[in-house]
Structure 1
Amino acid sequence: MGKTSKDKTISSLSAEMPKAEEDFQLLVIRLSAMGDVAMTVPVLQRLVKTYPRLKITVLTKPFFHPIFEEVPGVTIVSAEVNTKHKGIFGLWKLARELQSLRLHAVADLHNVLRTKILRFFFFFFGIKSAVIDKGRAEKKELTKLHPKNIQPLKTTHQRYAKVFAELGLPIDLNVSVEVKKHPIPQFIKEKLTQPRKWIGIAPFAAHKAKMYPLSKMEEVIAKLDAENKYDILLFGGGKHEEAQLNKLASNYKNVISMVGKLTFKEELQTVSNLDVMLSMDSGNGHLAAMFGIPVITVWGATHPFAGFAPFQQPKENQLLPDLEKYPLLPTSIYGNKHVEGYEEVMQSISPTEILNRIEEVL
């Protein structure tokens, strides 16, 4: 596409940014999913700290508002993609609504069909945009079975930061940002009255290939419970997980399921008070990392080299299967692909290994 008279280049946008920061209106788009949304927060927090007068509007789905509320000073706008913003005409309506903000630039951190259509409309309005490079080719290479060449790729956080850099807003992801704990919800105060260490455990994942066997996870929970010095909080979502976690919690004195007990905002408030989170390669780990909580992740068919490890967590907190026994790992980026003979890779991670890492962190 050729440039219109209104269409500023990235270089010219970058050149004017420092002197016009207080007037600069930036739209950031990330509609879903929960883990990817949570990963935007540490990046946006550093963007706000670096450019404190920058005016940022975040476009996301209504459910994710509490996540973006962790970024000070941003305005959050809902994309009602199932109702008034459904389809191409709904997206046109949404684009016109956003145009009224007098945007200078758009950072598309999602890069899906909906956001591509929105970017086209913004181009028509003369608004410059930058978009995330998801690195699909290199991720495909990482999961290729033969020949196997495992190298760490850019993290999702780095890919987000690169979008802002292309708009003349470079940030340093290593900059320190203060993250405060939230008040403890009343339900938690009533259930957990003793001043003990809190261990969060999120045993589920979207795909079986990313989920530690529940029987082995119960071994971890049973041993932690038997020490009688921790409170163990179980996290998950949906009716099926709720039933399983309620049943699991009922077998132990110091274990409580959070599912169905709290609003999503209250759940985030609770997570902010954890001493450690144990999760799969899933959204709950990223939610905890938003608050600077130590996160121990258990990996199966996927691998942290794909760029989805929780923010600023040491590699010692990323527990991997036996790579000598399973040399073709990772076999999947999202855990949705199956390779014959690799169905039980997580069995090679022992409960003792997980328990030892929890003890070391605490």
Structure 2
Amino acid sequence: MRVLVIGPSWVGDMVMSQSLYITLKQQYPEALIDVLAPAWCKPILERMPEVHQAIEMPLGHGDLNLLGRRALAKELKHQDYTHAFILPNSAKSALIPWFANIPVRTGWKGEMRYGLLNDLRPNKKAFQYMVERYVALAHPKKSMINSSSLGGIEHLPKPKLHIDSFTQNHTIEKFNLNRDRTIIGLCPGAEFGPAKQWPVEHYAAVADAMISQGKQIWLFGSPKDQATTEAIKYAISPENQAHIYDLAGRTSLIEAVDLLGACETVISNDSGLMHVAAAVGCKVIGVYGSTSPQYTPPLAEKLAIVHTDIECRPCFQRECPLGHLKCLKELDPQKVLDAYQSL
């Protein structure tokens, strides 16, 4: 069995897709699994032991480029793939396996995919969690009726990214970090939008309390998050600032993976880094605003979810449609500190 997976384009989704690869290897130990995905995904995929090869997708996200897809499919045809799993829902994501004449092409019913997929699954909404939707594709269509067919999310294989201790230690040294104190990671960014971002002052209150308890804080994020992480660092008491390290925008994604792997606990908005933290074995506290853990919860062994219960959430909007962001502002820092104690 030689498998081509058309992978997702978001960090969290890519991490969760590992559950599919684990399931396929359980069923077909000799299977070779290649994943076609954006270039930024390659280091993540290389930390998944189940993946034989990460193939860089040369076309931009959202770019139709029929000629480019046909040319790539012509190259991939020589790999003699027997199966393709198409994880995105778009029609264009199903074109390459179709152009490559891969015999079995499996995926959920999406936009105009009849014919492009010949193992079309029509009942995606019968599976509550995204990870269930991924894993269900590894099983025959007739046995995958709904979530109960899989026995519940707690029985599914959890993503587990490999951490090499030598590389991790080198990364810690590179950024002049240490393990002298217990490490708490904070991930205060959210690519989705501000309706997912817990306020700076709340993160700062948690950081201040943690440092006063003898811990250290590592701040993670992309270059877009630097203003946020810098504001958190300088909002805590001056005597505690020596124990907070701002890494946002300084690390590559794979360096962030290794550094998250050194954290005891990670406190994060609903973001890709939250799923990375779960996959490297951290305790995770997920902070939810406009979204809900009822679709893409972090698959951590030790997990706490915190949110408010105001009636307008979850709205799943990028920005608060009512303009008040109460779902985030009214989520008291003490609730997160209590969740930490419970873990």
Both proteins in one fold, TM over 0.5: yes
The equivalent position to 2:229 in structure 1, one of 242, 245, 254, is 245
Q: Distance in 1 between matches of 2:76 and 2:157?
A: 31
Is the alpha carbon distance of 1:304 and 1:133 closer, same or farther for their aligned partners in structure 2, counting shifts above 3 Å? Answer: farther
Runs of 5+ consecutive residues of structure 2 not aligned to the other structure: 111-124, 145-149
**One-letter amino acid matched to 2:233:** A
Query: Residue 88 of structure 2 aligns with which residue?
Result: 110
Q: Distance in 2 between matches of 1:357 and 1:26?
A: 41
Higher mean Cα deviation, 43-52 or 265-274?
43-52
**One-letter amino acid matched to 1:350:** D
- CA positional deviation for 1:50: 4.2
The equivalent position to 2:306 in structure 1, one of 310, 319, 323, is 319
**One-letter amino acid matched to 1:162:** A
SS where residue 36 of structure 2 aligns? strand
Q: Distance in 1 between matches of 2:231 and 2:321?
A: 32
Does structure 1 retain, via aligned residues, the 8 Å contact 2:6–2:37? yes
TM-score, length basis structure 1: 0.77
CA deviations over 1:235-273 (Å, ceiling 9, x no partner):
1102x4224424533551211011233222222111122
Does structure 2 retain, via aligned residues, the 8 Å contact 1:27–1:106? yes
Does structure 2 retain, via aligned residues, the 8 Å contact 1:41–1:70? no
The equivalent position to 2:108 in structure 1, one of 132, 135, 143, is 132
- CA positional deviation for 1:313: 5.2
Does structure 1 retain, via aligned residues, the 8 Å contact 2:83–2:102? no
| Pair 1:292-2:281 in alignment | yes
| Pair 1:360-2:329 in alignment | no
Does structure 2 retain, via aligned residues, the 8 Å contact 1:42–1:290? no
SS where residue 301 of structure 1 aligns? coil
Q: Distance in 2 between matches of 1:308 and 1:94?
A: 31
Query: Residue 145 of structure 1 aligns with which residue?
Result: none
Query: Residue 19 of structure 1 aligns with which residue?
Result: none
Alpha-carbon RMSD: 3.0
| Pair 1:159-2:133 in alignment | yes
Does structure 1 retain, via aligned residues, the 8 Å contact 2:283–2:300? no
SS where residue 216 of structure 2 aligns? strand
| Pair 1:310-2:298 in alignment | yes
Is the alpha carbon distance of 1:114 and 1:309 closer, same or farther for their aligned partners in structure 2, counting shifts above 3 Å? Answer: same
Runs of 5+ consecutive residues of structure 1 not aligned to the other structure: 1-23, 135-150
Query: Residue 268 of structure 2 aligns with which residue?
Result: 279
Q: Distance in 1 between matches of 2:16 and 2:339?
A: 23
- CA positional deviation for 1:114: 2.7
SS where residue 257 of structure 2 aligns? helix
The equivalent position to 1:204 in structure 2, one of 164, 189, 194, is 189
**One-letter amino acid matched to 1:191:** N
Runs of 4+ deviating beyond 4 Å:
167-173, 175-180
The equivalent position to 2:32 in structure 1, one of 41, 55, 64, is 55
| Pair 1:78-2:56 in alignment | yes
SS where residue 164 of structure 1 aligns? coil
Higher mean Cα deviation, 99-108 or 32-41?
32-41
- CA positional deviation for 1:174: 3.4
- How many residue pairs get aligned? The number is 311
- CA positional deviation for 1:94: 1.2
| Pair 1:101-2:44 in alignment | no
Report percent identity of matched pairs.
21
Is the alpha carbon distance of 1:152 and 1:298 closer, same or farther for their aligned partners in structure 2, counting shifts above 3 Å? Answer: farther
Does structure 2 retain, via aligned residues, the 8 Å contact 1:296–1:319? yes
Higher relative contact order (CA 8 A, sep 6+): 1
**One-letter amino acid matched to 1:155:** Y
Is the alpha carbon distance of 1:338 and 1:260 closer, same or farther for their aligned partners in structure 2, counting shifts above 3 Å? Answer: closer
Alignment of 1:6-25 (within 5 A): 24-25=1-2
Q: Distance in 2 between matches of 1:102 and 1:169?
A: 27
TM-score, length basis structure 2: 0.80
Q: Distance in 1 between matches of 2:259 and 2:143?
A: 33
Higher mean Cα deviation, 167-176 or 113-122?
167-176
Is the alpha carbon distance of 1:216 and 1:109 closer, same or farther for their aligned partners in structure 2, counting shifts above 3 Å? Answer: same
**One-letter amino acid matched to 1:356:** D
- CA positional deviation for 1:194: 4.0
CA deviations over 1:154-206 (Å, ceiling 9, x no partner):
11110001112148999885357876543224352363334332111101112
